[in-house]
């Protein structure tokens, strides 16, 4: 007698995670460049880049929002748009020195932060975050021309005039203008890995991260090139990650003593030459783990860490995870998303650096809502 087998019902495929909702809070007169930086990173990139974000704008009083470029932006959403945002982004604060942030804006930003939204200030947007008390006792970045003003107005904020961005996980700030792109790409790396950030950077025709700090762009008392710039050395080192390079060799290349070179690294980048080089090796390792199937031993040779044992040790010290676990969490095929292994965003602690001299701290995992 033949047995009876009930019809098999296909198991439905799991729903893809909802896109991460980014809402930019516009404040008149709105600076157009920081807003464009954010929209270019978090906006639609077409079929070449998987959609992981939605990007929207809102303002305190919906309607025409004047810009510094001489035209108005028609914004239809009010502050209630922040209630469901995963990331609230403030692309600049262009009011005169001493102007007060509207109380309704402070209250809306504070509510979003308390319910768990990430709050991001680009360029002078740090003033809004500081007014909301989100930067008290914390390190923060803003445009180099306004660092003194931010420090004087909000003495509890530890203003860092050098870094391109500071990321505390729940709150992040960037230095001036184009540093907003650096911070936004860093947040994409934190959310979805270096390979996804690289795809977006390629669409923008720019590197996925910049070296150095914003002090190299600040006005100097005399004109002409900065003789002590580390840029030529950093470019030379970036092309030799597969080779062992000592501080003595770096100093010889720069035609200075090892002590002078170390001092310049500390002044311009906030870290030692060896630390900078190791960070670059770890960054290259992350990309190779995400984008290739190369064995760890081969990757170790390619990034100058000599052996799989050394790579695993250094990788774990930096990211608190193993190369194998990282590879599982961040595959370039789009199956991985942020929120796998913890602490994979860069060197932990406020003293660590990540792409472009940005300071990072361990963060909560963030995928879609």
pLDDT > 70 fraction of the chain, expressed in percent and rounded: 80
Reported CATH class of domain 20-203: alpha beta
What are the residues facing 220 on neighbouring strands? none
CA distance 122 to 237: 30
What pLDDT digit, counting tens, does each position of 192-212 carry?
998 899 899 989 888 776 654
Look at the chain and count its residues. 369
pLDDT at position 365 is: 42
pLDDT at position 323 is: 92
Confidence of residue 79 (pLDDT cuts 50, 70, 90): very high
What pLDDT digit, counting tens, does each position of 34-73 carry?
999 999 999 999 888 999 999 999 999 999 999 999 999 9
The topology (CATH level 3) of 227-338 is Arc Repressor Mutant, subunit A (1.10.10)
Considering the entire predicted model, what is its pTM?
0.63
Please report how many Cα atoms fall inside a 13 Å half-sphere around the Cα of residue 7, on the Cβ side.
Answer: 2
pLDDT at position 171 is: 98
Residues of each domain in the chain carrying CATH 3.40.50.880: 20-203
What pLDDT digit, counting tens, does each position of 104-152 carry?
999 999 999 999 999 999 999 999 999 999 999 999 999 988 999 999 9
Interval 80-86 mean pLDDT:
97
Q: Sign (positive/negative) of CA torsion 37, 41, 46, 48?
A: positive
pLDDT > 90 fraction of the chain, expressed in percent and rounded: 59
pLDDT at position 176 is: 86
CA distance 61 to 270: 41
What pLDDT digit, counting tens, does each position of 321-355 carry?
889 988 887 764 444 443 333 333 333 333 333 33
Residues of each domain in the chain carrying CATH 1.10.10.60: 227-338
Closest CA to 73 of 62, 85, 88, 60: 62
Answer whether 236's CB lies under 8 Å from 253's CB.
yes
Mean pLDDT (the chain) is 83
- The token pair that represents 46 in the structure block: 């077409």
What pLDDT digit, counting tens, does each position of 149-173 carry?
999 999 999 999 878 899 999 999 9
- 96: burial class by Cβ within 10 Å (0-12, 13-18, 19+)? exposed
Interval 238-249 mean pLDDT:
92
């Amino acid at each position: 007698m033949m047995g009876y087998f009930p019809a098999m019902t296909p198991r439905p495929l799991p729903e893809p995670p909802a896109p991460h909702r980014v809402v930019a809070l516009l404040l008149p007169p709105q600076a157009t460049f920081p807003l464009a930086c954010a929209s270019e990173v978090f906006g639609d990139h077409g079929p070449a880049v998987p959609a992981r974000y939605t990007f929207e704008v809102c303002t305190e009083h919906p309607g025409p929002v004047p810009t510094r470029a001489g035209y108005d932006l028609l914004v239809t959403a009010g502050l209630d748009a922040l209630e469901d945002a995963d990331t609230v982004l403030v692309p600049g604060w262009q009011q005169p020195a001493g102007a007060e942030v509207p109380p309704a804006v402070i209250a809306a930003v504070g509510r979003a932060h308390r319910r768990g939204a990430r709050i991001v200030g680009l360029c002078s947007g740090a003033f809004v975050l500081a007014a909301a008390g989100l930067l008290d006792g914390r390190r923060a970045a803003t445009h180099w021309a306004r660092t003194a003003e931010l420090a004087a107005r909000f003495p509890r904020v530890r203003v860092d005039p050098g870094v391109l961005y500071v990321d505390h996980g729940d709150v992040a700030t960037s230095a001036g203008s184009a540093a907003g792109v650096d911070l936004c790409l860093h947040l994409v790396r934190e959310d979805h890995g270096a390979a996804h950030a690289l795809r977006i950077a390629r669409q923008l025709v720019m590197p996925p991260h910049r070296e150095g700090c914003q002090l190299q762009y600040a006005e100097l008392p005399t004109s002409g090139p900065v003789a002590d710039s580390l840029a030529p050395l950093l470019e030379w080192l970036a092309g030799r990650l597969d080779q062992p390079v000592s501080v003595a060799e770096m100093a010889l290349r720069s035609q200075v003593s090892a002590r002078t070179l170390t001092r310049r690294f500390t002044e311009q980048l906030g870290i030692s030459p060896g630390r900078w080089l190791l960070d670059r090796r770890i960054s290259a390792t992350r990309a190779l783990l995400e984008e290739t199937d190369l064995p760890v031993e081969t990757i170790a040779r390619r990034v100058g860490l000599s052996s799989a044992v050394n790579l695993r040790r250094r990788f774990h010290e930096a990211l608190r995870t193993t190369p194998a676990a990282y590879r599982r969490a961040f595959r370039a095929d789009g199956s991985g998303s942020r929120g796998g292994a913890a602490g994979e965003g860069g060197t932990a602690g406020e003293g660590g650096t990540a792409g472009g001299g940005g300071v990072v701290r361990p963060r909560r995992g963030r995928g879609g809502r």
